[in-house]
């Protein structure tokens, strides 16, 4: 038996399916971070904290919303970096809190 069987070949995923999964992950994560940032901004705006804290949460949420849109359009690498930047901006607000 000199022929090769199909089970010997590695099982690679379809690149289109992998790209689709990356887009959906970017959209879902960006949306989740946006909602979390807006909720934190709303909660912090009702307290006696300075205005910088809710603004930083809202700004971070806006960056995550833009990242979600970019992820839906297939720009997943840029979306990832924008989400990291958005979370860092929200972390700055958390440090002032």
2 in a structural domain: no
Instruction: Identify the domain containing residue 33 by its residue range.
Output: 16-96
69 in a structural domain: yes
- The yes-or-no verdict on residue 8 having pLDDT over 60 is no
pLDDT of residue 73: 92
34 in a structural domain: yes
Cα 8 to Cα 5, 11, 15, 29, 33, distances in angstroms: 6, 9, 20, 37, 43
pLDDT of residue 56: 93
Could you report the per-residue pLDDT of 59-84, keeping only the tens digit for each?
999 999 999 999 999 898 999 999 99
Could you report the per-residue pLDDT of 40-57, keeping only the tens digit for each?
999 888 877 788 899 999
pLDDT class for 90, splitting at 50, 70, 90? Answer: very high
Q: By the 8 A CB rule, do 86 and 64 touch?
A: yes
53 in a structural domain: yes
Could you report the per-residue pLDDT of 16-33, keeping only the tens digit for each?
888 889 899 999 999 999
82 in a structural domain: yes
Q: How far apart are CA 33 and CA 65, in angstroms?
A: 8
Looking at the 3D structure of the chain, how many domains does it have?
1
71 in a structural domain: yes
């Amino acid at each position: 038996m000199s022929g090769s069987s199909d089970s010997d070949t590695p099982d690679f995923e379809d690149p289109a399916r992998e790209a689709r999964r990356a887009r959906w992950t970017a959209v879902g994560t960006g949306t989740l971070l946006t909602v979390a940032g807006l909720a934190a901004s709303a909660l912090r705006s009702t307290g006696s904290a300075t205005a910088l804290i809710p603004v930083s949460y809202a700004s971070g949420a806006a960056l995550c919303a833009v990242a979600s849109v970019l992820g839906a359009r297939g720009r997943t690498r840029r979306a990832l970096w924008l989400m990291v930047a958005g979370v860092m901006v929200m972390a700055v607000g958390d440090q002032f809190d």
